[in-house]
A and B are shown apart, each in its own frame.
Chain A
Amino acid sequence: MHSEYEAVIGLEIHTQLNTKSKLFSSAASRFGDEPNTNISEVCTAQPGSLPVINVEAIKKAILFGLAIDADISKLTTFDRKSYFYPDLPRGFQITQFYHPIIRNGKVTFKIDNYKKTVFIREAHLEDDTGMLKHFSTFTGIDLNRAGSPLLEIVTMPCIKTAKEASLYAMTIKLILQYLDISDCSMEEGSLRIDANVSVKKKHEKELRPKIEIKNLNSFNFLEHAIDIEIERQIKIYESNKNEDIRYLIKSSTYRYDSIKKDLFLMREKDSAEDYRYFPEPDLVPIVIKDADIEFIKKSLKELPHERYEKYIDKLKLNEDLASILVNDKKLSDYFEEALKDSLDPILLCNILTIEITGKLKETNKTITSIGIPHKNIASLVNMITTNEINKKIAKSVIDEMIKNPQKPPLEIVKENPLFKPLDDEEEIEKIVLSILSENSQSIEDFLNGKDKALGFLVGQVMKKTKGKASPEIVNKLILKKIKS
């Protein structure tokens, strides 16, 4: 980026709340069913139908507000936002324009070597649209999604880089997941991001005109889209230095093409669109009492940053590995469960984040998807901790556990003689003697001060025992023999 410039970015994250039914109707709020099966008279906008608020959505919005340390409105209302489009059956969306349920929140996250706090202006509830499906001779409308509850989370224009934007979005996603209020499936569209981007010279106080990038559904796209837009705007300002900066960038909406990796203009907002917002007369204002908030607070679960701090401060996990755990809610939940029966958190963390994740990397599976019971991983950890098996054998046991997810490691070891640790010192001594007799040169090298030779000899013994002997014992025995 041109060093005189800085970007000013604000994000709007639309997340579908995972309520059982829709925001204003009893129809199921569910993805992936046959078109137009999860619909009711309300979400198809039949005349005579009336919206009724889903209290579950209100509770989930409040949970989010608590998690981002926001003000929860004592009185919240809904408004009609009017426009015509076939995926909007009522001809207006029911949203919260005047009195959103959540205001003034903030989230803090780590980025490279600094901490960033993003201020959240508001989060409001609104109902989702249906979906158009284009066929060769006609366009169909699927109203399964119409009326599903969305929480729109709007930041202040306080984000400065694409990286900050994507880390902010990831942080929000994690919070939503930890609160269990959204599936956050970006592929299925239950988390969609709009970015407002402008640039200005660093010393300038006034903001320059912004553009909006709509419906970004991956963090990579988000970052890339913002980066190229910043570049584009700077280029325009730089190559038109004599023009009035107020008119160079036209207020407009873009979409990001994930295949062409570029931005495309959707529409220019010459005259601001007039949505004719006014209070929804079919819904009464919702009064949220302190007691309600206190009650909902009780169901507030551990948040990602709290879990991270616990991992670092209490469990002494490595920071990077702790991040890997926390950033993958399912893995982290698995860790929490297995931890209950494990003797060594660090070892458990390593096995989960390095060993197993590494082995599953190619297969597109995860430990939770293959279904190894927590207790089995815990007992593996404990077998290693108590020296029942060494780490080398542990790796092979893990391979077996992946193949047979339901089989406890104890059984795997019992059934396979190769996994039985060799702990009979006499037995090992015999092997040590035979290796030593075959490698007199190495003994001489060692005696001449070449420490490496010892490692070679240990390795030979380990090979012969197929890794079942404890390297410590082997080491001890070799040294004893050589010195005698």
Chain B
Amino acid sequence: MYKKSAIEIRDLFLSKKASSEEITKYFLNRISKADPKINAFLSIFEEKALVKARELDKKLKEKKPLGKLASIPLAIKDNIHIKGEKTTCASKYLSNYKALFNASIIDHLIDEDSIIIGKTNLDEFAMGSSNENSAFFSCKNPWDLNSVAGGSSGGSAAAVASRMTPLSFGSDTGGSIRYPAALNGIYGFKPTYGRVSRYGLVAFGSSLDQIGPLANSAKDIALSMEVISRPCNKDSTNFRLPEENYLHNIPKDFKKIKIGVPYHFLENLNKNTKNNFDRMVDDFKNLGAEIIDINLDILKYSIAIYYIIATAEASTNLARYDGIKYGERAKNTSSLEELYSLSREEGFGKEVKRRILLGTYVLSSGYQEAYYKKAQKVRTLIIQAFEKAFLNSDFILLPTNAKSAFKLGSISNPLDMYLEDLFTIPANLAALPAITIPYGFDNSKPLGVQLIAPQLMDVKLIQYTILFENLLKTNEKIAPLFDKEF
């Protein structure tokens, strides 16, 4: 069963080849055996999941209508609210915080009869690229238990890669879905900014954050997008688009499709990754796509401006964690000032503090002009550069990760860590939909390549990804340690 995609599992259930209870028990068992090796989960909802499963079995028996995601077990990054359950954001500050409401996407997932099986590990407040910034424990890579799962949605990625769940959800501010997905050899999709409601997602960089799915199959990405991209009026930045069909009318070939590649920007790519990337370019050529050399040199500024804009927004988004209303409160303080500083000192980890300080600095009077405002201008230039590139191409191809998963603890300089996001950040800055496709290996660990589309072209992007998956059947390999029953 672990080899099956989400859609296949749903169909097992609907065709009565397996009951929902059997499916749920199977994955709960697998989690209990496999997860101690990788630490993907922060909480498991065993009882609730089984109650829901029995409900679905009853519904099926009574021939009642069932949702699109019937009986699909799934995992949610622990920065997305499920009412009554903890949302820790892998932070000591929120280690006992229980959500007061469902995120909009959770409502949709429940409505469509999925089975939410647990919540997954992340870098604290989604700040990090390796999952090592979790206040609890680092999530490990199923392909190599000494390597990182990537971040920040490392738990969601590793849970899918180790087949503890066929589908999971994460959030992506600068690559937090796509980067760990690539490191884990699975698909990860960041929708157009504004496509999926952010209501109930704990904010990091509000103008960049998007929720998206991670899965072993592009079709599962498509199916879940049909559910989570429903319009939401609790998020003002939500486009409230009419529902679209992601799974029907999959194109037949890549003829007439133009794919832009910023060759000059990619010149410094290491050899393995470059070769892998070139192989994929050749695949697209062979499938009939036209490859176009585009200029996106401006992307070399992406990291610099991302770490200004994201931290500026984060510094204010995290101001609410002040020790007053909920979460960590320092004891034995003698003044308000001390209550603030000690609660934050004790509640936040190092990277979170670093980003709050950086964000506060770039917004400060005297520096805002030089940093925040300038970064916004460059962001506009990046958006324009993409717009120009898309005038002549349907998609843009970029690597997702420059190298495969690195060893736990091997990157200690935060700036080196920031560089890991070089290829994922541009899509966030330009609000573009981007999907990472598992493609190839480097030292037996997965690599990913991203396909990026113009704003709002999410459906087309995913449909061509499904076509690519159908034609090439790349990366059907499962992480060897987990390619077995537990």
Query: Of residues 313 to 353 in B, which have CB atoms within 8 Å of A's CB atoms?
Result: 313, 315-316, 318-322, 324-326, 336, 340
In the assembled complex, B198 has its CB within 8 A of some CB on chain A: yes
On whether the beta carbons of B316 and A47 are closer than 8 Å, the reply is: no
Using A48-B203, A52-B234 as known contacts, list a sample of 17 further A-B pairs with CB atoms less than 8 Å apart, ordered by residue number in A: A41-B101, A45-B320, A47-B202, A47-B203, A48-B80, A48-B99, A48-B201, A48-B202, A50-B235, A52-B236, A89-B320, A91-B316, A91-B318, A276-B365, A281-B207, A283-B236, A284-B236
Q: Taking CB as reference atom, which chain B residue is nearest A286?
A: B236
CA distance A50 to B364 in the complex (A): 24
* B80, B198, B235, B324, most chain A CB atoms within 10 A: B324
Residues of A within 8 A of B312 (CB): 278
Q: Taking CB as reference atom, which chain A residue is nearest B206?
A: A281
On whether the beta carbons of B103 and A48 are closer than 8 Å, the reply is: yes
In the assembled complex, A272 has its CB within 8 A of some CB on chain B: yes
CA distance A441 to B99 in the complex (A): 98
In the assembled complex, A294 has its CB within 8 A of some CB on chain B: no
Mask: chain B, 290-331; 1 = CB below 8 Å from A; 0 = not: 000000000000000000000011011011111011100000
On whether the beta carbons of B198 and A50 are closer than 8 Å, the reply is: yes
Residues of B within 8 A of A53 (CB): 236
Instruction: List, sorted by A's number, 8 A–B pairs whose CB atoms are closer than 8 Å.
Output: A47-B202, A48-B200, A48-B203, A50-B199, A51-B236, A84-B340, A276-B364, A282-B203
In the assembled complex, A405 has its CB within 8 A of some CB on chain B: no
Q: Which of B89, B324, B368 contacts A86 (CB 8 A)?
A: B324
Count B-side interface residues using an 8 Å CB cutoff: 44
Residues of B within 8 A of A82 (CB): 315-316, 319, 363
Q: Taking CB as reference atom, which chain B residue is nearest A282?
A: B206
On whether the beta carbons of A84 and B206 are closer than 8 Å, the reply is: no
Residues of B within 8 A of A46 (CB): 100-101, 326
In the assembled complex, B97 has its CB within 8 A of some CB on chain A: yes
Query: Of residues 391 to 406 in B, which have CB atoms within 8 Å of A's CB atoms?
Result: none
Query: Of residues 351 to 376 in B, which have CB atoms within 8 Å of A's CB atoms?
Result: 360, 363-365, 368, 372
On whether the beta carbons of B368 and A276 are closer than 8 Å, the reply is: yes
Interface of A with B (CB < 8 Å)? 41, 44-53, 80, 82, 84, 86, 89-92, 141, 272, 274, 276, 278, 281-284
Residues of A within 8 A of B80 (CB): 48
Q: When A and B form their complex, which 10 residue pairs have the shortest distance between CB atoms, in order from nearest?
A: A91-B319, A281-B207, A276-B363, A281-B206, A45-B320, A47-B202, A48-B200, A274-B365, A48-B81, A48-B202
In the assembled complex, B233 has its CB within 8 A of some CB on chain A: yes
In the assembled complex, B141 has its CB within 8 A of some CB on chain A: no
In the assembled complex, B475 has its CB within 8 A of some CB on chain A: no
On whether the beta carbons of B236 and A47 are closer than 8 Å, the reply is: no
On whether the beta carbons of B360 and A276 are closer than 8 Å, the reply is: yes
CA distance A276 to B315 in the complex (A): 10
Chain A's nearest CB lies how many Å from the CB of B346? Answer: 16
Contact A45-B364, Cβ < 8 Å, known A50-B235, A53-B236, A84-B340:
no
Q: Taking CB as reference atom, which chain A residue is nearest B359?
A: A276
On whether the beta carbons of A274 and B97 are closer than 8 Å, the reply is: no
CA distance A20 to B354 in the complex (A): 41
CA distance A86 to B94 in the complex (A): 18
Contact A278-B319, Cβ < 8 Å, known A50-B236, A52-B234, A84-B340:
no
Residues of A within 8 A of B340 (CB): 84
On whether the beta carbons of B319 and A92 are closer than 8 Å, the reply is: yes
On whether the beta carbons of B365 and A281 are closer than 8 Å, the reply is: no
On whether the beta carbons of B199 and A281 are closer than 8 Å, the reply is: no
Contact A47-B87, Cβ < 8 Å, known A89-B325, A281-B206:
yes
CA distance A278 to B319 in the complex (A): 14
Residues of B within 8 A of A89 (CB): 320, 324-325
In the assembled complex, B276 has its CB within 8 A of some CB on chain A: no
Mask: chain B, 76-120; 1 = CB below 8 Å from A; 0 = not: 000011000001010000100101110100000000000000000
Residues of A within 8 A of B272 (CB): none
In the assembled complex, B43 has its CB within 8 A of some CB on chain A: no
Chain A's nearest CB lies how many Å from the CB of B402? Answer: 29
Residues of B within 8 A of A141 (CB): 324-325
On whether the beta carbons of B320 and A274 are closer than 8 Å, the reply is: no
CA distance A44 to B325 in the complex (A): 8
Residues of B within 8 A of A45 (CB): 320, 325
Chain A's nearest CB lies how many Å from the CB of B324? Answer: 5
On whether the beta carbons of B313 and A281 are closer than 8 Å, the reply is: yes
Query: Of residues 171 to 210 in B, which have CB atoms within 8 Å of A's CB atoms?
Result: 198-203, 205-207
CA distance A213 to B346 in the complex (A): 38
CA distance A114 to B176 in the complex (A): 66
Residues of A within 8 A of B94 (CB): 47
CA distance A423 to B346 in the complex (A): 93
Residues of B within 8 A of A49 (CB): 199
Chain A's nearest CB lies how many Å from the CB of B185? Answer: 30
CA distance A44 to B326 in the complex (A): 10
On whether the beta carbons of A278 and B201 are closer than 8 Å, the reply is: no
Q: Which of A48, A90, A91, A274 contacts B199 (CB 8 A)?
A: A48
On whether the beta carbons of B236 and A282 are closer than 8 Å, the reply is: yes
Residues of A within 8 A of B360 (CB): 276
Residues of B within 8 A of A272 (CB): 365
Q: Taking CB as reference atom, which chain B residue is nearest A272?
A: B365
On whether the beta carbons of B320 and A91 are closer than 8 Å, the reply is: yes
Chain A's nearest CB lies how many Å from the CB of B104? Answer: 10
